[in-house]
Amino acid sequence: ESNAIGVLVMSYGTPESLEGVEAYYTHIRRGNPPSAEQLADLTARYRAIVGGVFPLRENTDRQVSALQRTLDELAGEGAFVCYQGLKHASPFIEDGVAAMAANGIKKAVAIVLTPQYSVMSVGGYMKRAEEEAAKHGIKMQTVREYHLHPQLIDELSSRVQEGLDRFGGSREDTMVLFSAHSLPARIVEMKDPYPEQLLETSRAVAEEAGVRKWEFTWQSAGQTGQPWLGPDILETLDRLNGEGVKSVLVAPVGFVSDHLEVLYDLDIEARKFAEERGMRLERIRMLNDDAQYMTALAESVLAALKESE
């Protein structure tokens, strides 16, 4: 038995290689394999992104090590041991919990590398983590959300200011577009907190950064035949162009890492769409293993533990 507290750090996951894209996509689709066309489309998007084919894997590894170092500094070495658990790739959430159990861990905290709660995103991670923890007799606390943590807001605000500086003389005319991954629109009837928490993060960042011109928009909606939350970023860009807006800074506050939904959907697709309309589109730098972000995560872990005492 170990007295250390396990920290399950959960992230979306990415394939290990181009050959692994089909299995990954099938997992996202809850066991339904994609059509040949869908698979070819996703593979082409991975091939197109800058920074390597699957940058999310290395990013998540770095975030887990950085959180470990931050917790060591805050609570002393050996107090916490971090484990990685991915939603759609290996090591899966269940593997992370099983690894804790194998090391004799009896008490743990679970946290997801996305700040806002939705029953369809964070809720899904937590359900799997808690079920696996129960199997191994591990007592598990969860961090539901940390979307207003002061260090998170502070770092995002700096990045918005830095992004606006890139526009020089047109800084004041630049529209800041906060964005996040869309979800099926039925979450609204479910009174899911996701849309409101995203607005709360956006409002807090805009206020701290002194931004007056801002909007929130969705991105990366799936094609499932069901309605998804909108407006999508491409529709928003089109409307803004019609209103004469020429410069846009995208701040994807529902994401924390450089990955496909940022490097492709924003940096390639949305940028091209904007440029075709004579607009300039820039994006804030992602948090990745940023020190203030790591402090926000570590403090949220400590707070969840304290609450349970």
92 near 85, Cβ under 8 Å?
Answer: yes
> Was 149 annotated as part of a binding site?
no
Tokens 């091209």: give the residue.
272
- Alpha carbon distance 130, 240 (integer Å): 44
Q: Which is nearer to ligand FEC, 26 or 161 (CB)?
A: 26
Q: Does 147 bind ligand FEC (CB under 6 A)?
A: no
Nearest-approach distance from CB 228 to ligand FEC, in angstroms: 8
Nearest-approach distance from CB 225 to ligand FEC, in angstroms: 10
> Was 181 annotated as part of a binding site?
yes
Q: Does 12 bind ligand FEC (CB under 6 A)?
A: yes
Q: Does 260 bind ligand FEC (CB under 6 A)?
A: yes
Q: Does 144 bind ligand FEC (CB under 6 A)?
A: no
Nearest-approach distance from CB 244 to ligand FEC, in angstroms: 32
> Residue 152's beta-bridge partner residues?
none
Q: Which is nearer to ligand FEC, 126 or 274 (CB)?
A: 126
- Alpha carbon distance 178, 167 (integer Å): 17
> Was 117 annotated as part of a binding site?
no
Tokens 């807006």: give the residue.
245
> Residue 148's beta-bridge partner residues?
none
How many residues lie near ligand FEC (CB under 6 A)? 18
Binding mask 81-110 for ligand FEC (x = CB under 6 A): ------------------------------
Q: How do strand 175-181 and strand 105-112 relate by DSSP bridges?
A: unpaired
Tokens of 50: 């800058």
- Residues 182-211, interacting with ligand FEC (CB under 6 A): 183
Q: Which is nearer to ligand FEC, 164 or 266 (CB)?
A: 266
> Was 29 annotated as part of a binding site?
yes
Binding mask 14-53 for ligand FEC (x = CB under 6 A): x----------x--xx------------x-----------
- Residues 216-235, interacting with ligand FEC (CB under 6 A): 222, 224
> Was 125 annotated as part of a binding site?
yes
> Was 46 annotated as part of a binding site?
yes
Give the binding site for ligand FEC (CB under 6 A): 12, 14, 25, 28-29, 42, 54, 56, 114, 121, 181, 183, 222, 224, 254, 259-261
